[in-house]
Amino acid sequence: MKTPPSIFWFRRDLRLSDHPALLDAVERGRGRVVGLFILDDEFLAPAGATRVNYLRASLEALATQLNGALVLRRGDPAVVLAEVVRETRATDVVVTGDYGPRGRARDERVARALARAGATLTVVDSPYVVAPGVVRTKTGSPCRVFGAFRRGWQEQSFTAPYDAPREATFERVASLDFTVFDDLPAPLAPPYFGELSALAPAPIGPAGEVAGLERLRAFTATVGAYDQTRNLPGVDGTSRLSPFLRFGALHPRTVLRATSGLNAGHATFTSEICWREFYADVLFHQPDSTWRVLQPSLASLKIDRDARAVERFQAWALGRTGYPLVDAGMRQLLNDGWMHNRVRMVAASFLVKHLHLDWRWGAKWFMWRLIDGDLASNQHGWQWTAGTGTDAAPFHRVFNPTLQAERFDPDGTYVRRYVSELADVAAPQCLQPGGGTGLLRPADYPAPLIDANHERQEALARFAQARADAAVAS
Ligand SMILES: Cc1cc2nc3c(=O)[nH]c(=O)nc-3n(C[C@H](O)[C@H](O)[C@H](O)COP(=O)(O)OP(=O)(O)OC[C@H]3O[C@@H](n4cnc5c(N)ncnc54)[C@H](O)[C@@H]3O)c2cc1C
């Protein structure tokens, strides 16, 4: 009798090259592999339609690479995998490790279900250059601060990228069936989203490994200047690789190999990739950090949650705060499903420190709209900005949205691109609250929702109170 194939269960690794887990599956199946993706409603719940559309496009790209030999199913992975094992007589299921809290729990459950069905789940590699949990301090504890993590991370031996499998046959178990994407349940929107949850998804950009490699090749020509351009949202100065990394169309090993070099641009870029790995490591060690404030002294910070807070949240999400850089960023998120990192920081800081809202509200909205929405990077990016994270910007440092605009978008290129009401207003006026004052102010652009100086003082007062409360409690 013919040896059964192995099953390769694709998750956040939708590519063929630099893929040691896939190579392992090819070896176990003696060249014959069933490539499987399972659409799991539970995992789609926090994602708005934009990211789901991007997932679909990434799977279409993968299916093209496999000449259509991709099995798509929908349901509980433990049940689906047991079925596919029965259908194919496979005894080996191989995956790339998932280090998120839900993914880990799911994989334990799946391993037990597979054991009952007479098969084994083998975990190979991770979506990171160094798997979460590996880097430790000198005393063996998890790293709490980025500097210590980066030192430990750089001391690891980095593996070179792997070639794509040669001589592998992907089994055509059933015809390719994208109807699994039909009738998905509506994602769970929190009440403060209100009508926002019905907004149309953003159009998606190129997806899949071939497009990712193309983008990577283009970026290698400019990475040397990355340290100069990465903070300028009006310039195409960052890699825009985050969606490809999110869905594993590229592995960061491939990205680091292609962007390595000796100048400050290369070093800064490597450091940013390391932030991604740091946040995955923090999440691995502290799975509840997705929603729990990591700074105990800020746990009691006064946050607004009343009807006016909801109105302010919605104005922020729609890019209608009257602060041009914040609004440009929020409209970029609405229009493109992506936002520049500098503006993510400014917009997040504005929500927490000027509007006095819960960072978790903002984090949920980002996860809803971002194509690259990633639990570890998003939640900890928010905790960093809110001052509540493990290695966060201090709470009392408040980004001034106007000064940030003047510094990082001095000619208003970015603001004018996304805020149509300001398209014809010259800098520096287009960078000012309300787009300027008096007769110069464009009538159709919102007046400032709040007074940033006043609300900054309010934030600092709330911070002082939270610290005083924490001191009494300890
Ligand atoms: C509030 C907030 C929320 C964020 N949410 C996400 C998210 O959901 N998904 C996500 O991938 N990134 C998130 N980031 C990090 C960062 O903004 C994006 O990774 C970056 O903007 C993606 O654009 P790029 O690929 O051009 O980045 P580049 O500047 O070219 O960087 C290269 C890669 O390094 C990684 N990286 C860069 N900066 C960071 C960072 N600060 N933290 C973690 N990884 C980083 C990303 O994988 C990125 O693709 C968030 C940052 C903040 C402040």
Domain range list for the chain: 1-125, 127-161+208-285, 296-473
pLDDT digits (tens, 9 = 90+) for 431-456: 999 999 888 889 999 999 999 999 99
State how far the Cα of 8 lies from the Cα of 123, in Å rounded to an integer: 11
CB 25 within 8 A of CB 7: yes
pLDDT digits (tens, 9 = 90+) for 214-271: 999 999 999 999 999 999 999 999 999 999 999 999 999 999 999 998 899 999 999 9
236 lines ligand 1 (CB under 6 A): no
Beta bridge partners of 93: 7, 121
pLDDT of residue 474: 77
When pLDDT is cut at 50, 70 and 90, the band that residue 1 belongs to is low
What's the rounded mean pLDDT across residues 266-289? 97
Q: Which of 148, 405, 359, 178 is nearest to 274 (CA)?
A: 148
Nearest CA to ligand 1 atom 33: 273
Rounded mean pLDDT of the chain? Answer: 96
pLDDT of residue 98: 98
CB 28 within 8 A of CB 222: no
Asked if 1-125 and 296-473 have one fold, the answer is no
Q: What is the CATH number of domain 296-473?
A: 1.10.579.10
Domain 1-125 fold is: Rossmann fold (3.40.50)
Nearest atom within ligand 1 for CA of residue 370? 8
What's the rounded mean pLDDT across residues 51-58? 97
Collapsing DSSP to helix, strand or coil, 210 comes out as helix
- Three-state secondary structure of 394-448: CCCCCCCHHHHHHHHCCCCHHHHHHCHHHCCCCCCHHHCHHHCCHHHCCCCCCCC
Give the rounded percent of residues in the chain with a pLDDT score beyond 70.
100
Domain 127-161+208-285 fold is: 1.25.40
Who contacts 21 (Cβ-Cβ below 8 Å, separation ≥6)?
Answer: 8, 13, 94, 95, 96, 123, 124, 125
Gap from CA of 157 to ligand 1 centroid (Å) = 24
Global model pTM greater than 0.95 = yes
Nearest atom within ligand 1 for CA of residue 345? 53
Whether 311 has a pLDDT exceeding 90, the answer reads: yes
- Counting every residue, how long is the chain? 474
Whether 470 has a pLDDT exceeding 90, the answer reads: no
